Amino acid sequence: MQPAWKWSCPTTNKKKQRNRGILCHTYEKNKTRGGESVVVIKSVEKHSAADKAGLLAGDVLLAINGNEICDVLDYRFYLTEKKIVLTLEREGVRFEKSIRKREYDDIGLEFETFLMSEKRSCRNKCIFCFIDQLPKGMRETLYFKDDDSRLSFLMGNYITLTNLKDKDIDRIIRMKMSPVNISVHTTDEDLRVKMTGNKNAGKVLSYLKRLSDGGIEMNFQIVLCRGINDGEALEKTMHELAILHPATRSVSVVPAGLTRFREGLYPLSPYTKQEAEAIIKQVSAFAAACKGAYGKSLFYCADELYLKAELPLPCEEAYDEYPQLENGVGLIRSMETEFTEELDYLDEYDLTKKRKLTIATGEAAYDFICSLCERLKEKVPSLDVSVVKIVNRFFGETITVAGLMTGVDLYEQLKGRDLGDRLLLPASCTESSGCLFLDNMSVTELEEKLNIKIVQAKNDGREFIGEVLY
């Protein structure tokens, strides 16, 4: 199902806007009325429909065509009409402005925040919460726990539904906010209350049926905790989510990430090799039944489980076009497929050029990255590439994924080595701008400490070859 409007993210780079000469006015302060946030126009694009209608930075947007505007979803949903009447307030005086435009066209307004309101924070106390396992001194943004249905739709974030009310579910259905990504963990009401530490966690499972009946598709995440929501509880969860098909698009089964900073938290332990193998066997059997019934596997184990169990990954077809890549499901298979395809286009590179570089990765992906490099060196004999396995001493050695490597671990384990001309890191170990590691060390600082040029590659086989054969 497609959303009822065409979404485009607002521009937030003010410097870029000024360089293009389109930023007309700015208004820096948030406003509240009766403790509730109001939607304040931060800037008006020069020569836009809003600018021509006389709107100014600092105006408060109250409604569009009589519909109250509380956040970005209201705004985008009601903005789609060809004729809109904006209800605004300026210096305490309410007034209206009419604008005619093409359907789906923007009118040139920018707001204080992307959501146009505060993010909804998480009200749970999950027994496996990764944020609760973080030490002090990390990137500030890491400590905020969001549980916002709007970010689920717009950014793909996973939500628990525990801070939603009936009216929120009604709005999701009315606005066709599909798909919604849900951290379900279990469909056993009492067990979900226990796992999330929220007395409402079991009740909101009724929302799944309402969303399904309303035509909303859902992706689910099950974070498995050893001895808690696995075994029979997992079997029950899989059955009850499968019943919701076709609303159920995909379900990832991911082991809980456990750091060494768990003092005072619920006692959890990692899965053993044999236990990981049993989980894969259980999920794979159920997925095979779904494949026969629905044409899709629906249920997918994270790569981490296969690596723990030391089992081969499924074939590409088993991943059904990779609906759960962001949850670490199929990342390795996807990257290998892209890598293999790109090997047929090596004639586009200068294969006589001498190259010497180092690749740093986590323990989980080490053997895989080594295998890719060996295959590439067979095709490019002039390539000198070393792969270094980074042990996660910062979070603890139970954390093996490359995306959780920190600047301090990279420095301590790479210093003194001949790294060549460049150091290649996975883009997943820094924040979205590629500037900061989890421990707040900057990429620039690490470059200076190691005296090396750092480049980053996404989890893409083609991009990997491109960065290695620079």
pLDDT (tens digit, 9 = 90+) per residue, 93-111?
999 999 999 887 889 998 8
Local confidence pLDDT in tens for the 470 residues of the chain:
333 333 333 333 333 332 322 233 333 334 445 445 678 898 999 999 999 999 999 999 999 999 888 777 788 878 888 999 999 999 999 999 999 998 878 899 988 765 545 555 677 889 999 888 988 877 776 765 555 544 444 455 788 898 888 988 998 898 888 899 999 999 999 999 999 999 999 987 899 999 999 999 999 999 999 999 999 999 999 999 999 999 999 999 999 999 999 989 999 999 999 999 999 999 999 999 999 999 999 999 999 999 999 999 999 999 999 999 989 999 999 999 999 999 999 999 999 999 999 999 999 999 999 999 999 999 999 999 999 999 999 999 999 999 999 999 999 999 999 999 999 999 999 987 889 999 999 999 999 999 999 999 999 999 999 999 98
Q: Which CATH number belongs to the domain containing residue 74 in this structure?
A: 2.30.42.10
**229 & 304 share domain:** yes
Whether residues 162 and 305 fall in one domain: yes
Query: Are residue 198 and residue 320 in the same domain, yes or no?
Result: yes
Asked whether 404 and 397 are in contact (CB, 8 A), the reply is: no
Sheet holding 355-362: strands in order across?
Answer: 383-390, 355-362, 422-426, 453-457
Largest distance between two CA atoms of the chain = 74
Q: Does residue 7 belong to any structural domain of this protein?
A: no
Are 152 and 245 within one domain?
Answer: yes
Q: Is residue 117 part of a domain?
A: no
Residue (of 327, 322, 331, 224) closest to 280 by Cα position = 224
Please give the residue range of the domain that contains residue 293.
131-329
> Does residue 173 form part of some domain?
yes
Task: Please report, for the domain that includes residue 364, its CATH number.
Answer: 3.40.50
Residue 108 burial (CB count, 10 A) = 20
Quote the pTM value: 0.78
- 120 inside domain: no
Radius of gyration from C-alpha coordinates of the chain: 25
Selection from 238, 254, 320 nearest residue 286 by Cα: 238
Question: Within this chain, do residues 325 and 342 fall inside the same structural domain, yes or no?
Answer: no
Q: Report helix, strand and coil shares of the chain as percent, to nearest 5.
A: 35, 20, 45
Neighbouring residues of 338: CB distance < 8 A, sequence distance ≥ 6: 460, 461, 462, 464
**Are 373 and 403 in a shared domain?**
yes
The Cα 204–Cα 238 span in angstroms is 17
Q: Kindly report, residue by residue over 50-81, the tens digit of the pLDDT.
A: 999 999 999 999 999 998 887 777 888 788 88
Q: Are residues 107 and 143 in the same domain?
A: no
pLDDT at residue 156, rounded to an integer: 58
